[in-house]
Chain A
Amino acid sequence: MTRIRPLPVATDPVATGPTGPTVPGGGRRRTAVRRRFDRQAAVGWLFVAPFATLLLVFLLLPMVYAFKLSLYRSTLVQGEVFAAFDNYRQAFADPEFRSGVLRVLVFGLVQTPVMIGLALVLALLVDGVSSRFARMLRLAAFVPYAVPVVIGTLMWGFLYSQNTGPFRFTGIDFVAGDTVLASLGNLVVWQWAGYNMIVLYAALQGVPREIYESARIDGAGAVQVALRIKAPMISAALVLCTVFTIVGTLQFFTEPLILQPLNPGAITNSYTPNVYAYNQAFSYQQYNYSAAISFLLGAVVFVGSYIFLFATRKRSSLR
């Protein structure tokens, strides 16, 4: 799972009209203002130029390049030849790729509700209870987010181990073929639940407390208030957390790659689409096929998250 970046909640962020001072009419005045705006235009471009260049070179160009590569195939005899959508056709028919896709989908389907549910419980606890212990929980749950995924995975790798872990008395092999996906799920929950908790908690803090009062007066208990009033009030934040969690699980990479040496038979080179793309490029030198998988994955995540965000945005503005 990649590190999710700070959340922009779907407010309306698009620049709305000019922010400069309004220009009143008048001959000479207008040309003076005009000249100033010309200068401002140049300065504006100068200020955004470094960012625009980076956007072009490290975002648009790689996307275009990946797409171009994905349309070619390298052959021994002819070198690079145009293959249209052959690589994509191959991917859709590739049982290894398909099983990887299926795995992250199943993983996301199970893990997302568990994670969001847990984050919601944590947020409700931290929001509803005011004690030093509640503040400690807020801190403890959020600390794993600050730890590199690599190191979080290494720690859990040791904890899962039959040789070094504290759970060896249970006799459970946490990295066997049928348990390793759940172990990876636990790892992701540990690392990200606190992040989601903070986002939900911030949303809860934004709900006016007077709303709970009437429910309390009507005789609703703390749990009822939490589930019937608080949770629905922050549905927008919940949906957003869900989207980001799904986006993360689709890109699942670091955790399985780090744990792979513990059981290479279970965590295969095609365990997730990203692991597969990585191995296609670096273990098998199949750059074109790898580019096709990367592009496909990127496109699915991109389109999917926009559909989700767009849907939520509409809903929240209707409310």
Chain B
Amino acid sequence: MSAPVATTSSPAVRRSRGTVGTHLVMALFVAYFLLPFWWLLVAATKDNDGLFGSEPLWFADLHLVDNLRLLFTQDDGLYLRWMGNSALYAATSGVGATAIAALAGYAFAKLRFPGRNALFALLLGLIMVPATALVLPTYLLMAEVGLVDSVWAVILPSLLNPFGVYLLRVYAHDSVPDEMLEAARIDGAGEFRVFRSVALPAMRPALVTVLLFTMVASWNNFFLPLVMLSDQNLYPLTVGLRSWYLSATIGNGGPALFNVIVIGSLVAIVPLIAAFLLLQRYWRGGLTIGSLR
């Protein structure tokens, strides 16, 4: 999905340039959506006193470097560990879920096997089961087999991505030409070879979208790791920052300071914002891929 292009012939249907009024409304909206980011950026440069004592939306004494040093040394560099965990969970469940979804999506679209339609109908039937309702039962199940409080407890459930399978099935169905699969088979390629060298390249845009979405969903995940993990060395950023926030607000002997939480929040979203700006096309693609079919 490329950017919208308003290249219509008649001037009557060309999009308007907008009046001063509409631009004022738009300016208000932009301010609303960007306000928290501006605040975060400003607040990340303040020490704890500045956070409470100075004008919230403007800079005071600059302590950005001090804050970063504090952040990465707090609790013996726990934050870096959390960051590494988040990256690990995002990378493994992103790559794993995408690979599994690609195999299944391709098979649903292009291979004939008994039970295919039944299994796909089951997938569609279960696609609306809310994820949060499954977290507690999954925890109890994992506890029975002794897998809680391990990286597997976070990674394994994240590998399941029915939406990804659905998306890739739709995409493979439309974009992988049957003739090319046949040609490859006649040339003597095995089924996996056909998948790898013909189907995968054709599915690339959708694969990138699914990978991006699963990675971001995993980076942002909170409920699942919150429930599964009690060892703080295994926390991802989201659960870790919440634990600092909890001890800072309740103040039950927790050493975390608010300025550390603020800078920690900023550092945690920088990779996301960067990925977001660089890969905009794929984000929008993922949201609309189903509707454009």
Contacts and interface: CB of A to CB of B under 8 A. Distances in A.
Nearest to B123: A55
15 contacts: A7-B288, A8-B163, A11-B290, A19-B109, A40-B111, A47-B111, A48-B104, A54-B100, A54-B160, A140-B34, A194-B33, A213-B10, A253-B132, A254-B223, A295-B133
A5 to B, nearest CB: 4
Interface in B106-154: 106-117, 119-124, 126-141
Contacts of B106: 47
Nearest to B23: A133
Nearest to B51: A164
Nearest to A70: B137
A136 to B, nearest CB: 6
B13 A216 contact: yes
A147 B33 CA distance: 12
Interface residues of B, number: 126
Interface in B5-54: 6, 8, 10, 12-18, 22-23, 25-27, 29-30, 32-37, 39-40, 43, 51-52
Contacts of B217: 3, 5
B12 A217 contact: yes
A92 interface: no
Interface string A19-32: 11100000000000
B56 A164 contact: yes
B268 A148 contact: yes
Interface of A is mostly: helix
Interface in A33-74: 37, 39-45, 47-48, 50-52, 54-55, 58-63, 65-66, 69
Given A19-B110, A150-B241, A154-B241, A7 B291 contact: yes
A288 B219 CA distance: 30
A109 interface: no
A298 B112 contact: no
B181 to A, nearest CB: 9
A278 B136 contact: yes
Contact of B159 (A54, A140, A149, A202): A54
A287 interface: yes
Contacts of B134: 58-59, 62-63, 66, 294, 298
Given A59-B160, A150-B238, A274 B287 contact: no
Given A41-B113, A159-B36, A21 B13 contact: no
Interface string B232-267: 000001110110011001100000001001100100
Interface string A154-166: 1111110001111
Given A151-B269, A155-B265, A55 B12 contact: no
A231 B278 CA distance: 31
Given A48-B107, A198-B284, A5 B100 contact: no
Nearest to B118: A15
B101 interface: yes
B222 A150 contact: yes
Contact of B32 (A20, A52, A190, A287): A190
Given A8-B127, A159-B35, 13 more contacts: A6-B167, A7-B290, A48-B116, A51-B103, A54-B156, A141-B33, A146-B216, A164-B52, A199-B291, A206-B292, A222-B16, A294-B133, A297-B130
Contact of A190 (B25, B36, B159): B36
B22 to A, nearest CB: 6
A61 B219 contact: no
Contacts of B136: 66, 277-278, 281, 290-291, 294
Given A6-B287, A148-B219, A55 B126 contact: yes
A170 interface: no
A131 interface: yes
A114 interface: no
Given A129-B26, A140-B33, A291-B140, A48 B288 contact: no
Contacts of A247: 128, 130
Given A58-B156, A210-B13, A291-B140, A2 B130 contact: yes
A261 B222 contact: no
B121 A148 contact: no
A162 to B, nearest CB: 10
Contacts of A213: 10, 12-13
Contacts of A44: 107, 111-113, 116
Interface stretch (A77-85, A98-106, A176-184, A301-309): A301-309
Contact of B6 (A130, A142, A146): A130
A305 B6 CA distance: 35
Given A58-B157, A125-B25, A165-B56, A146 B273 contact: yes
A245 B260 CA distance: 33
B258 A164 contact: yes
B178 A148 contact: no
B267 to A, nearest CB: 10
B89 interface: no
B293 A261 contact: no
A125 B26 contact: yes
A174 to B, nearest CB: 14
